[in-house]
Amino acid sequence: MTRQMTGAEMVIQALKDQGVDHIFGYPGGAVLPIYDEIFQQEDIRHILVRHEQGAGHAAEGYARSTGKVGVLLVTSGPGATNAVTPLADALMDSIPLVCISGQVPTSLIGSDAFQECDTSGITRPCTKHNYLVRSVEELPRILHEAFYVARSGRPGPVVVDIPKDVQFATGTYHGPSNVSHKTYHPQLKGDLDAVRKAVDMLVNAKKPILYTGGGVINSGTEACQMLRELVALTGFPITSTLMGLGAYPASGKEWLGMLGMHGTYEANMAMHECDVMLCVGARFDDRITGRLDAFSPNSKKIHIDIDPSSINKIVQVDLGIVGDVGHVLEDMVRIWRAGGKKNDKQDLATWWERIKIWRKRDCLAYRPNEDVIMPQYALQRLSEKLKGRDYYITTEVGQHQMWAAQFLGFEEPHRWMTSGGLGTMGYGFPAAIGVQTAHPESLVVDISGDGSVQMNIQELATAIQHNLPVKIMILNNEHLGMVRQWQQLLHGNRLSNSYVEAMPDFVKLADAYGAKGIVCDKPDKLDAAIDEMIAYDGPVIFDCRVAKLANCFPMIPSGRAHNDMLFSDEAEDETMIANAIGDAGKKLV
């Protein structure tokens, strides 16, 4: 398509040509020409949020649940600065976003005009790439290029900052044919010789493990299928980061659970004692490795990642393979099959026997209570109620997030949306709005804390306006739970500003917005409350009152090695351990 358009028209046409059907935004003076074009068309649905941070997180949820690029539209100055947090969040978690921001006219840039800020300068550290559009003639190329950069290679957020005079100006629009970037050309195929070497290393391993991350999910459903085929071929144990949950089914017999700071004992111990580690689409972040100099000290490490800067960035590996993990895993499976590769069955059986002993510790054990709802129990009951349903889970950040990762098993990718790298309180609810927008017939539940939910509670109005039946399940312990836990365990129980006073009545708050409010504080009434939450055909705030001082275990304290974990009293019970694994096994725990 080539024809004359205003810059504002070009924005809308480019979005249509890129297959965009939903955008999340908030109008302001510097983007009014674009909003005028939105008014005059019906192909793209605009979701009016109540805060630009909500727009960014909603676009993230939309992107992560669909695999598409999420789009947000904000005005200049405070509109753009309010979007910085979700942009940083998306960069850390490799989420493809395009943020279109308005800017003051080009003649006023640098003059401290009303609602002016240096958007490209401010967002440069928290975006994959950004653009300040100087003329209407370059606008079509930049818009299409922004989508290419956001979705290709390691996904990430891109900002396109468009001055108001460029939106009014008229120029020639060009469609998205042959879109690329003059310098950015990510490598998709891995080096075959390196892949063969990796296969040989795995074949000869006595204690192998697959360590997977969000890169597998970002690569797409075919990459997840290749991962599952590799596990089926090899019989190797597999674990995952927080961001990678769902790439391999939680019900799989080779699944060890999540690893890292609040991961399972068996996953962390297997990582510590393995002799060959295959890292697929993960980045060795500090919540996984613990103390670096003690991380998996006796293993050979293979790292597959599409981002060459991630390899040897934190942990020195023995073999790095740059490429899209889907392509590399496909080559690995093909080479394994073609060569009739097989591990030593006895070595692998011995390794699994050791893992089974670690499993028997029951590291997620907690003490049930007939009078008070334990947060773990609440999530176990929710998990039971979700079986057989088409559902998506988002979370805020804190103890509830880790309990959700531990107790909600995910069988498929793109069903679990959480803020991993930046750890953004206030992420989950607007992200759930984005997910519900993309999947209107599905059940979408945001697992929240009483602190996090208040960060972006204003988006309840968005859910009401757009008929989005999002459910918010608050594990309400009247504290900033993770902060309190760290203060208790690591700061002498000095609970500085972690008790949340002046807590709102969440049922009344829901009613004020026109949503449904539910409250429950007794275990024997929990099932009925969850059923009521799920059955209601609109937005719900479920105030689930849980034990106030429950801690999230296991836990690797900051600065310790990943095999140096703290456990609940139940998991620490030596009598229980001895009964579970016998005297012979007790020496191995």
Domains defined for the chain, CATH in brackets:
2-178 (3.40.50.970), 192-359 (3.40.50.1220), 375-545 (3.40.50.970)
pLDDT for position 116: 95
What the block records as the tokens of 506 is 């969440």
Stated as kind and residue range, the H or E segment containing 476 is strand 471-476
Question: What's the average model confidence in pLDDT over 140-157?
Answer: 97
Question: How far is 243 from 112, CA to CA, in rounded Å?
Answer: 41
Question: How far is 169 from 401, CA to CA, in rounded Å?
Answer: 47
Give, in degrees to the nearest 5, the angle at Cα 123 between 119 and 127: 140
pLDDT for position 582: 45
pLDDT for position 297: 94
Q: pLDDT at residue 586 above 70?
A: no
State residue 129 phi and psi, 5-degree precision: -160, 155
On whether the CB atoms of residues 258 and 239 are closer than 8 A, the answer is yes
The sheet with strand 276-280 has its strands ordered as: 255-258, 238-240, 208-212, 276-280, 300-305, 319-322
* Higher pLDDT among residues 29 and 574, named by residue: 29
DSSP state string for 483-499 = HHHHHHHHSTT---S-B
pLDDT for position 335: 95
Question: What's the average model confidence in pLDDT over 259-288?
Answer: 95
pLDDT for position 587: 35
Question: How far is 166 from 144, CA to CA, in rounded Å?
Answer: 17
pLDDT for position 118: 96
Q: pLDDT at residue 29 above 70?
A: yes
The residues annotated with a catalytic role in the active site are: 52, 114-115, 164, 482
Handedness of CA 7, 9, 13, 15 (dihedral sign): positive
Question: How far is 169 from 106, CA to CA, in rounded Å?
Answer: 12
Question: How far is 212 from 227, CA to CA, in rounded Å?
Answer: 9
pLDDT for position 159: 98
At 409-440, the pLDDT tens digits run 999 999 999 999 999 999 999 999 999 999 99
pLDDT for position 122: 97
Handedness of CA 62, 64, 68, 72 (dihedral sign): positive
Share of residues in the chain with pLDDT > 70 (%): 97
Question: What's the average model confidence in pLDDT over 481-488?
Answer: 94
Amino acid at 398: G
DSSP 373: B
pLDDT for position 563: 86
291: exposed, middle or buried (C-beta count within 10 Å: 0-12, 13-18, 19+)?
Answer: middle
pLDDT for position 584: 36
Question: What's the average model confidence in pLDDT over 281-290?
Answer: 92
Mean pLDDT over the full length of the chain: 94
Give, in degrees to the nearest 5, the angle at Cα 555 between 418 and 577: 125
Cα distances (Å, whole numbers) of residue 168 to 38, 108, 114, 316: 14, 15, 18, 52
Pairing of strands 208-212, 443-449: unpaired
Q: pLDDT at residue 226 above 80?
A: yes
pLDDT for position 578: 44
On whether the CB atoms of residues 100 and 160 are closer than 8 A, the answer is yes
Question: What's the average model confidence in pLDDT over 458-479?
Answer: 98
Task: Determine which of 95-109, 202-216, 337-351 has the lowest per-residue pLDDT on average.
Answer: 337-351
pLDDT for position 575: 40
Q: pLDDT at residue 166 above 90?
A: yes
Residues paired with 212 in a beta bridge: 240, 280
pLDDT for position 573: 57
Q: pLDDT at residue 576 above 50?
A: no
388: exposed, middle or buried (C-beta count within 10 Å: 0-12, 13-18, 19+)?
Answer: exposed
pLDDT for position 1: 65
